[in-house]
Amino acid sequence: MKNQIFSLCALALALFTLSSCGKDREQIKAAISETQLSYMIESAMQAGMGGFTGQLEMAVEIAQETVSSQCGVTKDTTIITENETTIGSSEYTTQYTWTLECENDVTPLNYDFICHSQGSYNNNHMTSNDYGDADWVLEGLSQNVNEFSANGTFDRNGEQTFKADGIVTESNIDFVVTNLNIDKSNEEINSGSAKVNVHGSTDSGESFDFEGQIVFLGNGKAKLTVNGKTFIINL
């Protein structure tokens, strides 16, 4: 009889534990949903929200203006961007440092850009105060090539507030971008891919951790896939 009572108590405890863990996971998922995550990632990509596509546009402009730069010489500039769009506003200060890498100190091969940005945005879904660091390698400098090719990393870290429910998060968003093809004539991204990792915590102490895949579709759009769900990102 005692063994039966002990077995029933153990079973009840196990069920309670599983139920509690399930509720914890549900609470964390409800606090930061895949849709909310997509807003964070989209803003970190959008040029109008100080995202990395804006950095690449500027890198392309610098490369086209300074293609005759001296090999191996490092230059830098600081650019302040203020954007007012239909989806929101942003203000970022970005320091660009770049070096023209050459073959045999004669033939240009690629530009190596290092960027540091700091600022804030306010759009339809959320507000953010953050800073970011990036390292870009821009290839395709030959005049016979119609596209630049960019590879690199971009990390954005900061605090966000979701307007719909007031959730505040501290987050780290890390991108690894591969074979991004950028049209030289209009500076638009035609194709490429990226991996993104997002982790952080909410103001209630709940943590979150996501991994996603991004495919650039051209025409100012990209497709984000996370946890089997797909979102179209406007760049």
Q: In the 3-class helix/strand/coil scheme, how is 187-206 assigned residue by residue?
A: CCEEEEEEEEEEEEEECCCC
Q: What pLDDT does residue 68 have?
A: 64
Q: What pLDDT does residue 31 have?
A: 63
Strands lying side by side in the sheet with 74-85: 74-85, 88-103, 107-123, 126-139, 147-162, 168-183, 189-202, 207-218, 221-226, 229-234
Tokens in use for 140? 């395709």
In a domain, 4, yes or no: no
In a domain, 17, yes or no: no
In a domain, 158, yes or no: yes
Q: What is the mean pLDDT of the chain?
A: 88
**Residue 58 reports pLDDT greater than 80:** yes
In a domain, 19, yes or no: no
Of 144 and 133, more confident: 133
**Residue 51 reports pLDDT greater than 50:** yes
**Residue 19 reports pLDDT greater than 80:** no
- Total domain count for the chain? 1
Q: Which domain holds residue 62?
A: 28-234
In a domain, 15, yes or no: no
In a domain, 204, yes or no: yes
In a domain, 142, yes or no: yes
This prediction has a pTM of 0.85
Task: Return d(Cα 214, Cα 44) in angstroms, integer.
Answer: 13
Rounded average pLDDT over 143-169: 95
For the chain, what percent of residues have pLDDT higher than 90? 74
Q: What pLDDT does residue 67 have?
A: 63
> Per residue in 74-110, pLDDT tens?
999 999 999 998 889 999 999 999 999 998 888 889 9
In a domain, 68, yes or no: yes
